[in-house]
Chains A and B, each alone.
Chain A
Amino acid sequence: EIVMTQSPLFLPVTPGEPASISCRSSQSLQKSNGYNYLDWYVQKPGQSPQLLIYLGSHRASGVPDRFSGSGSGTEFTLKISRVEAEDVGVYYCMEGLQILFTFGPGTRVEIK
């Protein structure tokens, strides 16, 4: 079983400022093809989770380029270059290696 952890769990942000969330997995998420099977989701208030980043660093369709993902192996980061008010929500990392995946506990992003 892969365990996913995130930090911080709560992130107050100022609009226009950058923000960063860390994610760690209990085992490497990199396959022999070189890709890292780590996704980032956001769940905005009252909505279902939606995919932001897949394979560690690729933005899903329609995701603004202020969002970026990086990292490899067991350490990953989601960055928002300039936070906007619409970015509030809970951000989850998720491993995509197992048959049934595992989410991290989530990071709640709120505007200061």
Chain B
Amino acid sequence: QVHLVESGGGVVQPATSLRLSCAASGFTFSNYPMYWVRQTPVKGLEWLAVVSYDGSNKNYADSVKGRFTISRDNVQNTLHLQMSTLRAEDTAVYYCVVRDEGYCTGGSCYSFDYWGQGAHVTVSS
């Protein structure tokens, strides 16, 4: 059974940093790309960053590029999001997501898509 458990959320002041972690279990972590997604009442659900299965490729949304860094530890089965220069608009619930592109083969179709429970981050002075 796939489990994704985020930690590290909290209340921080603007312009400071915070590191989120996500402990993964129940699947072969090193085989899948991993994502961070956030949700706010204003912007809804936003995919923030993705790291390839081996950590060699990373992509970021424009809203966090240069401020957030995604990383993974395939020995500890852990995903991280280092957030710096935080702004009030970064206040959100942050989700860790494992997802592989759906595909069909041999007459059957498959999906792999699981979300953590979310970590609350509040940026406020």
- Listed in ascending order, the chain A residues whose CB lies under 8 Å from chain B are 35, 37, 39, 48-51, 54-55, 58, 60-61, 92, 94, 96, 99-103, 105-106
Contacts and interface: CB of A to CB of B under 8 A. Distances in A.
Chain A facing B: main interface SS: loop
A50 B103 CA distance: 18
Interface residues of B, number: 23
Interface of B: 35, 44-50, 59-61, 95, 101-104, 109, 111, 113, 115-118
A49 B104 CA distance: 23
Given A100-B60, A103-B46, 20 more contacts: A35-B102, A35-B104, A48-B117, A49-B95, A49-B115, A50-B115, A54-B102, A54-B111, A54-B113, A55-B103, A60-B111, A94-B45, A96-B101, A99-B50, A100-B50, A100-B59, A101-B47, A103-B44, A105-B44, A106-B45
Contact of A102 (B47, B103, B115, B116): B47
Contacts of B47: 100-103
A92 B50 contact: no
B111 A48 contact: no
A35 B95 CA distance: 27
Contacts of A94: 45
Contacts of A51: 111, 113
A48 B113 CA distance: 12
A100 B102 contact: no
B4 to A, nearest CB: 9
Contacts of B103: 55
